[in-house]
Chains A and B, each alone.
Chain A
Amino acid sequence: MNKPKEKEFNIRTEAGKMAFIESVLFVSKDPVEPERLMNYLKIKDVADFERLIVKMDDDYERRGCGIMVQKAGGGLQLTTRPGMHEFLKEFFTIKSSSRLSVASLETLAIVAYRQPVTIAEISDLRGVNSVGPVKNLLQKKLIRITGRKRVPGLPALYSTSREFLLYFGLGDLSELPSLEELTEMFEEKEQPSLFQ
């Protein structure tokens, strides 16, 4: 059988660059650092690269593709689109995705905003012993030990990990809302209830 001739790529062109990035992201299990891609493609300007990624993602959206480009943990990765979630769950017969418990979320909140922090400080802020949730988060690799506090007993200090950023879809820690923004967010949310 005579196959039609495979298309040749020229990664000097914009289309070629996008095709190259797409194939790298397709085969990569973990997010790929933009710097590596830029190096290979000899792109000097970050803004140029950003434009390319946006164009790529827009293309996916315009064509109604089931995947998209996501920035997380300082890297790029391909994920499915939000609207596919229910179908995927049904297809793979997955009943429900496991979520973090309230205790784990509270503990993560403290680690994220106060890092590096000890278990004693976490327990103090939560008002309950927090050894359990800390262990659980360590096991899930969402937090890691980054040092020892120079106080009696040299307790371990915990910080968030790269997995934390990936899990919550954050580029870096600065994307978490600041405490001021947080107050505003909740004031807006709580306002309507006054009139109910």
Chain B
Amino acid sequence: MNTENSIDEESYNIRTERFEGPLDLLLHLIKKNKMDIMEIKISEITSEYLYYLRDKSRINPSREGDFLMTASTLIYIKSRSLLPKPEILQDEESPEDRLLNTLIEYDKIQKISQVLKDMEGQTLILWKREEVAEKFVSKEFELEEVSSFQLAEVFLNLVKRREGESFLYIDSKKYSIEKKWEELLQLVETDGYLDFFQYVESLQTIEEILVSFFCMLEMIKQRVFIGVQKKLFGPISLWKKTG
């Protein structure tokens, strides 16, 4: 079988992004070539598989790593088939068998996924109690619980905007939480609310941003303000807590 010719125009555009993983890609190739899973010649689909990884100038190890692992297995199997076979112990599973078994299992998993997907489609059209409320909530005002790490990331995000600034020299204390407190309180009281990101934009130094950020956290903690952030890295809105 000529694998080079079977790479048609359509498959040229298909890249690994479309596939869930190396097994998904392999199954796709097997089905495309109308092979039977039980009788596939692994060496024959190897070149086609590798074709998908070609032109990848940069490899993202967390994603393409899995594809590369399988590629090395395929090449290993192909090279084995070209070499005279050493005596294999009877109870040892050959790499071909191992890959085939994995593929057969994965084929089942895909079929079950399809069944689940159909079931999902059938139940999604049956609405249950309080479904309407949930369907609305999940779209708009879902407040996420964030960890202190995520909060720190938001802060780093803020600081990045002042990247050019020198960290080396720190001037004497110019800003105090007490003064910031008064300033923030006044801003919120005059406008009714404050967009914290917008406020930070107007500040000159990282030191002042730092003080403002901690001051804001303190004010939320002491229940002077209510802070709302609708999504991670999104704008932070502040209101004065009433009553």
Contact = CB atoms under 8 A, between A and B. Distances in A.
Contact of A105 (B108, B113, B127, B130): B113
B85 interface: no
Interface in A47-90: 68, 70, 72, 77-82, 84-85, 88
B125 A128 contact: no
A112 B112 contact: yes
Nearest to B127: A80
A85 B117 CA distance: 18
Given A106-B20, A126-B20, A99 B112 contact: no
A179 B107 CA distance: 11
A182 B111 contact: yes
Contact of B21 (A109, A127, A176, A182): A127
A29 B66 contact: no
A126 B23 CA distance: 7
A169 B119 contact: yes
Interface string A109-123: 110110000000000
Interface residues of B, number: 36
A79 B126 CA distance: 6
B115 interface: yes
Given A29-B129, A92-B135, A167-B120, A186 B112 contact: no
Contacts of B23: 126-128
B106 A126 contact: yes
A29 B130 CA distance: 7
B113 A128 contact: no
B20 A79 contact: no
B73 to A, nearest CB: 10
A186 B112 CA distance: 10
The residue among B125, B130, B138 with the most chain A CB atoms within 10 A of its own CB is B125
7 contacts: A100-B117, A106-B109, A106-B113, A109-B112, A126-B20, A128-B66, A186-B111
Interface of B: 20-24, 62, 66, 70, 102, 105-106, 108-113, 115-117, 119-130, 132, 135-136, 138
